[in-house]
A and B are shown apart, each in its own frame.
Chain A
């Protein structure tokens, strides 16, 4: 079955540091890929998405590129802020928005 693997956390960075959170997937078809973020005390929110190979999703300074050849969708941000502290989930859907498969999440802590 489909699965998503993320780098283990927690990840602790200083403010303005560069962030990479690795995500790789296995899927039987051609899934859409997503990053969701969960801020403390809040529900999951869609951060960005990509629906086909070589697409780049971006939002709030975060970026991720759909790499079919390496089955990856790594999340990056050039300069993190304290307010980016949250848990980040990589996810896929074989049919865009139905039956998500989520990774285990990576907790990010950004220190001032």
Chain B
């Protein structure tokens, strides 16, 4: 079966622009996670969805970042007024239920965002 997919694989934008990053989780997975990975660092948690709702958005760095999952499947991470410091690889992961003990997260290949 298909794994987690993310589009685009690469995105180059200019400072101040708006970008959207898309994640298609594994079919049937109710939990979806977004992470940001800067060069030479491990992934940093941003937000976690259980179904359509954001169960934990404590990792979003500021109000320029927003994510939605309107139908409980595909999710979009939205970044307004991009800054050079937003440049990173944005990773999406999904898991079957998100309930503790119910299994690991499966990661997508990531979207590399470069803000010039």
What is A's interface to B at a CB cutoff of 8 Å? 4, 34, 36, 41-46, 49, 51, 89, 91, 95-105
Contacts and interface: CB of A to CB of B under 8 A. Distances in A.
A7 to B, nearest CB: 13
Majority SS at the chain A contact face: loop
Majority SS at the chain B contact face: loop
B100 A104 contact: no
Interface of B: 3-4, 31, 33, 35, 40-45, 48, 55-56, 59, 91, 93, 95, 98, 100-110
A99 B91 contact: no
B107 A43 contact: yes
B101 A102 contact: no
Contact of B56 (A46, A96, A98): A98
A108 to B, nearest CB: 15
Given A97-B105, A98-B48, A99-B48, A44 B43 contact: yes
A98 B104 contact: no
A103 to B, nearest CB: 5
B104 A102 contact: no
A30 to B, nearest CB: 12
B109 A42 contact: yes
Query: Which 6 interchain pairs have the tightest Cβ spacing?
Result: A102-B42, A44-B107, A43-B107, A96-B100, A46-B104, A43-B109
A98 B55 CA distance: 10
A91 B100 contact: no
Given A44-B91, A97-B104, A97-B105, 16 more contacts: A41-B109, A43-B4, A43-B91, A43-B106, A43-B109, A89-B43, A96-B100, A97-B98, A97-B100, A100-B45, A100-B105, A102-B42, A102-B43, A103-B42, A104-B40, A105-B40
